[in-house]
Amino acid sequence: METENQNFQKSSMCSFVPEQEYTEGRRKLMSWLNQQMKIHLLDGRVLVGTFVCTDKDAHIILSSCYEYFNEKDLDTGESRLLGLVMIPGRHIISIHTDVQQTSEQSINTSNSDQT
């Protein structure tokens, strides 16, 4: 978790836009980086992986991505490991992030801040 936070900080540092000029949207996208993400596709498949990259057209890249053939498989866990995938925005129905992890992360962050 901590390395992920470092990534996050570094990525904001190396970006060309100065930090104070970040828009609300950018800030949100940054906060989702390296989070688990669940994406429903038009053909019914569900992809779960770590969000690592996107662009203006919502091309999303997930790493260590698992493919579930339908909603039902998500419960049974019957999946196929795909690895790194790029999902064109036009095939996406919905996007979810894992809130639990985010909150855990924020707790971790606050912990590390205290120490």
Partner 1 sequence: METDCTPTTNQKNEPAQNPNYNWKDITPEFFESIKDLELGELLHGYFFGLFEAMSAIEIMDPKMDAGMMCNRESNSIKLEDLKLSGLSVSEQISIIDITLACLVSWLEGHSLAQTVFTNLYFQKPYEIKDIPLKAFCICIYKIIESIRDFANRAQVFEEEDFQAALYNYHFFNEISDQRVIGMMREVDESINHILKSNSNCDEESYLALNTRIKFVRLLLQILLSFNRRESHSNLMGETQRLLTTCGLLIPSLIKTVNKGVPNIDHCYYDLGFDPLINQKLLPPTFPRYTKIKTAAEAYLYFDALLTRLKQICKLTNCVSYISALECFIELGHNSHLCIVSRSIMQTLYFPQPNKVFGTQDLGDCLREWAKSFIAPPSLISRLGILTNYQAKDCVHNFFEHCIRPFTGLIQTCGYNKARQRDKLAHLMEEFSALQDESQRIDAFLHSFSSKLDPPKEHLASFSTWIIYHTIRIMIMYLLSGFELELYSAHEYQYIYWYLYQFLYGWLVSTLNRADNVLLGSNSYVDFQKNKTKRNKPKKKKTHPYSQEIVMCHAMQSLTGAYFKTFIGFQLEGKIQTPKHAKFDNERVRYQHRFSAFSAVSVPPPFTYNEFQMTRNQIRDNASADPGILYLNGCELFHQARCLLDTIQQPHSQQVQNLIKVCKTNFVTMKLLASGYMRGPGVSLDFDFTTNSHFPILKLS
Torsion, Cα 73 74 76 79, to 10 degrees, reads 70
Cβ 71 to partner 1 shortest distance, Å: 12
Q: Is 2 in the site for partner 1 (CB under 8 A)?
A: no
14 binds partner 1 (CB under 8 A): yes
Give yes or no for residue 95 binding partner 1 (CB under 8 A).
yes
User: How would you label 20-56 residue by residue, b for 16+ Cβ within 10 Å and e otherwise?
Assistant: eeeeeeeeeeeeebbbbbbbbeeeebbbbbbbbebee
Closer residue to partner 1, CB minimum distance, 41 or 109? 41
Residues 6+ apart with CB under 8 A from 14: none
Smallest gap from Cβ 31 to partner 1, in A, equals 10
Q: Under the criterion CB under 8 A, does residue 77 sit at the interface with partner 1?
A: yes
* Interface map 25-64 toward partner 1 (x if CB under 8 A): xx-xxx-xxx-x-x--x-xxx-xx---xxxxxxx--x-x-
